[in-house]
Structure 1
Amino acid sequence: MNVSKEQIDRIVRDVIAGVGAQNKATQAPQAAAVTSSSAAKTARAAVLVEPRKFEIKEFPIREIGEDEILVKVEACGVCGTDVHCYKSDPFGLTPNVLGHEGTGEVVKVGSAIKMDSVGKAVKPGDKIVTSLLETSPDCLVAKYNPAKANLSDDLKVYGLLLDEPDNHLNGYFAEYMIIRPGSSFFVVNDMSVDLRCLIEPAAVVCHALERAKSCGNNPLNFRTRVVVQGCGPIGLLMIAVLRTHGVNNIIALDGNPDRLEIARSMGADEVINYKEYSGIDEIAEKVKGLTKGLGAHWGFQVTGVPAAHANLYKLIRRGGGICEVGHFVDGGECAINPHRDICAKEISLVGSWVYNSFEYPNAYHFLQRAERIGLPVSSLITHKFPLDQIDEAIQVNLRQEGIKVVVEAK
């Protein structure tokens, strides 16, 4: 039998195509089974059962609904709010699973979910971040002013949710977490796990920056002179976001020399160790000396210490502004002089409360931009602990060792 080269080539192509189709037919069900059964049946979680007491408990992983996502947690930063919850349970949440600065890998996606909150397709294997659950339709704040949804009494944050009989996995201090209906979430495959753990705190400082910018008569630009009071994780990120935004004159104020050196790496031009001065009047003179004798245009208060808030007015020039970022829990009261501190200076005073879900993309781009211009924001993560050592992770934070402490789900 004479067979031409063209006929042989066609037969080979047909055979290969047939084998490929057969392989697809036999492999597709197996791939689906892997996707649907790759998650464990149970998950360990660090449950804060009472103030200053964690217990590692194991919970069954329930089946997710059509508009839910099952996430295998990779890591989560320890926030100052977690520490407040650990010390005194100020929100009355115990027993619950804390952790809201987290990230993980998608294991299962409900059939009704096709894309994340900015329209990116989502599938098993994607890396995501999430924190906020959207407010209820009955919330009048969110209904009439969506840009102020962060002020809703109904605002919910993962890691700060009450435990429920069929919903134990509500925080990132666990091996798995279930993202509920109505949550904002974002696919961030192109980020390292360290940067992903910084997106939530970065959203805090992005929101604070926008709050300050809302005072149009006090612009934040290349020539603005800014004081950032407090160089913990949020304060250092505040310095980085200001530098990334184009502010070239930043003064960092703290009592820890190691943190002040890190502040320089985040973009601070000058640093002041308040422990080296006799009091606020002497510090104010130092700030004036760095700001043409007038004081700073803007101050960001990030310590959470009431006395620090009162002191900041002394460092701000007439016509300047203050953004209060640090008081997420009630730390008490402080005394100011309304005449000297506010009225006579025409101070613009704004508060900054959490963030809105749409500020997560801003935080994502801020972190990427910060690293591109040479700010080593990833280096803010200085300690990592496995889930079983969560108590030590909290204690390191309490002792103010390092900067950002992370708990890894392993």
Structure 2
Amino acid sequence: MPLSSNKIEKIVHEVVSRSLSAEAKPFAESGRAAVLVAPEKLKLQEFPLRGIRSDEILVKVEACGICGTDIHCYKSDPFALAPVVLGHEGTGIVLEVGRDVKMDGVGKPVLPGDRIVTSIFETSENCLIAKYNPHKANLCDDLRVYGLLPDEPEYHFNGYFGEYLIIRPGSSFFVVNDMSTDLRVLIEPAAVVCHALERAKTCGVNLNFRSRVVVQGCGPIGLLMIAVLRTHGINNIIAIDGNNSRLSMAASLGADVQLNFKDFNGIDDLASKVYSLTKGIGAHFGFQATGFPEAFAGLFKCIRRGGGIVEVGHFVDGGNCTMNPHQDITRKEITVTGSWVYNSFEYPYAYHFLRRAEGIGLPVTDLITHRFPLDQIQTAFDVNLQQQGIKVVVEMD
């Protein structure tokens, strides 16, 4: 009797799993990783590659994007992680699968040769937020992400800016074989904007085909925010930034109006322009993705009464800002919400968003403007710091 493809896949998975011992031998004796040893100091180091355990996965890293968080860590190590192997916007090829590991986060079998991405770790049993609100596990104090884990004797390969990654027990990961490497590198930041969109839905503002939305800040997150809004059916998007090349990218990703704030005489002048584009009453909604407190305060002036704002740009403490509670919030009844990272269940949302964005012709992979090998990672960070491109990617092989 002929076997179905699903049956064959299960048989192969079982054979491969049984062939792996509790301490499988690694494919190489050692591997390199770029270690942040101190602020603004990256050092390529060679680490021994131990055999994986029965509940682990060994991954050969293919590529990883440089995130704004990586830049903050590089500049000042705000989370006191050093020494640390950074890199969380990564993807790679599965080399070995521990015999106790059967499937990914959505029930797909995982086998050597699969292409995967990782999401957040499971939180500790002591986290009351995860216990009583599992859909808000992203707010746990012990939230952990590969690329933001300090070096440990048993786990040197903790981030994607290395040749290998060891996926530990309790990790969420996803098999994404049908995606290009470039799309896979964008899944993590895409999860950030998918989460921000879900947060926007809690504001009581009905985002629909006629909504007028401002996206402030056209870095990688702001640009992906524009793409996810367009994919979601938002037709009237105003992009605000101070870089014309990024505003041009915003146009290609779905922003029908692009405003360079440097062309205006302050926030009141800019807000007047937004009002002129929105029937004189302001935008229904705004997404703030700059990471600058002053920009956050200014966005209120662009939003109509009864509107809403999602703050998605402040992953680290950027300082305070001055605003008028009466004029900016109370009188307008504006609803403001924050957006913090994502949940692992939102990775499938990000996957389908990127596939749909490509399907409707949005050039999301054009966000990747620079590529560097691992031994040029210092140059890659310098290019990112100088904002010479949009998404800078480090490629292993």
User: Normalising TM by the smaller chain, what interval?
Assistant: over 0.9
Partner residue in 2 for 1:91: 79
Q: 1:181 is matched by which residue type in structure 2?
A: P
Q: 2:118 is matched by which residue type in structure 1?
A: T
Cα displacement string for residues 346-385 of structure 1 (whole angstroms, at most 9, x for unaligned residues): 0010000000000000000000000000100011111000
1:99–1:172 CA contact under 8 A, matched in 2: yes
1:202–1:367 CA contact under 8 A, matched in 2: yes
Q: Which runs of 5+ in 1 are unaligned?
A: 1-27
1:77–1:407 CA contact under 8 A, matched in 2: yes
Alignment of 1:141-160 (within 5 A): 141-160=129-148
Asked if 1:324 is matched to 2:311, the reply is yes
Alignment of 1:1-400 (within 5 A): 39-215=27-203, 217-400=204-387
Q: Which runs of 5+ in 2 are unaligned?
A: 1-14
TM-score normalised to structure 2 length: 0.94
Q: Distance in 1 between matches of 2:119 and 2:358?
A: 23
Cα displacement string for residues 104-126 of structure 1 (whole angstroms, at most 9, x for unaligned residues): 00001011111101000100000
Give the ranges of 4+ consecutive aligned residues of structure 1 lying more than 2 Å apart after TM superposition. none
2:63–2:393 CA contact under 8 A, matched in 1: yes
Q: Distance in 1 between matches of 2:19 and 2:33?
A: 28
* Secondary structure, aligned partner of 1:368: helix
Cα displacement string for residues 127-148 of structure 1 (whole angstroms, at most 9, x for unaligned residues): 0000311101111100000011
TM-score normalised to structure 1 length: 0.91
1:73–1:172 CA contact under 8 A, matched in 2: yes
Q: Distance in 2 between matches of 1:166 and 1:263?
A: 43
1:69–1:178 CA contact under 8 A, matched in 2: yes
1:101–1:131 CA contact under 8 A, matched in 2: no
2:25–2:52 CA contact under 8 A, matched in 1: no
* Secondary structure, aligned partner of 1:362: helix
Deviation at 1:40, TM superposition (A): 1.4
Q: 2:165 is matched by which residue type in structure 1?
A: M
2:292–2:314 CA contact under 8 A, matched in 1: yes
Q: What is the RMSD of the two structures over their aligned residues, measured on CA atoms? A: 1.4
Partner residue in 1 for 2:10: none
Cα displacement string for residues 325-350 of structure 1 (whole angstroms, at most 9, x for unaligned residues): 00000000001100000000000100
Q: Distance in 2 between matches of 1:214 and 1:94?
A: 37
Q: 1:160 is matched by which residue type in structure 2?
A: L
* Secondary structure, aligned partner of 1:156: coil
Cα displacement string for residues 368-408 of structure 1 (whole angstroms, at most 9, x for unaligned residues): 00000010001111100000011111111111111100001
2:195–2:342 CA contact under 8 A, matched in 1: yes
Deviation at 1:219, TM superposition (A): 1.1
Q: 1:338 is matched by which residue type in structure 2?
A: P
Q: 1:100 is matched by which residue type in structure 2?
A: H
* Secondary structure, aligned partner of 2:186: helix
Going from structure 1 to structure 2, the CA distance change for 1:335 and 1:284 (only over 3 Å counts) comes to same
Q: Distance in 2 between matches of 1:360 and 1:310?
A: 31
2:38–2:77 CA contact under 8 A, matched in 1: yes
Q: 2:137 is matched by which residue type in structure 1?
A: A
* Secondary structure, aligned partner of 1:309: helix
Partner residue in 2 for 1:6: none
Q: 2:255 is matched by which residue type in structure 1?
A: A
Q: 1:98 is matched by which residue type in structure 2?
A: L
Cα displacement string for residues 83-111 of structure 1 (whole angstroms, at most 9, x for unaligned residues): 00000000000011000000000001011
Deviation at 1:38, TM superposition (A): 7.0
Q: Distance in 2 between matches of 1:330 and 1:148?
A: 21
Over alpha carbons, which structure has the higher Rg?
1
Deviation at 1:37, TM superposition (A): 5.7
Identity %: 71
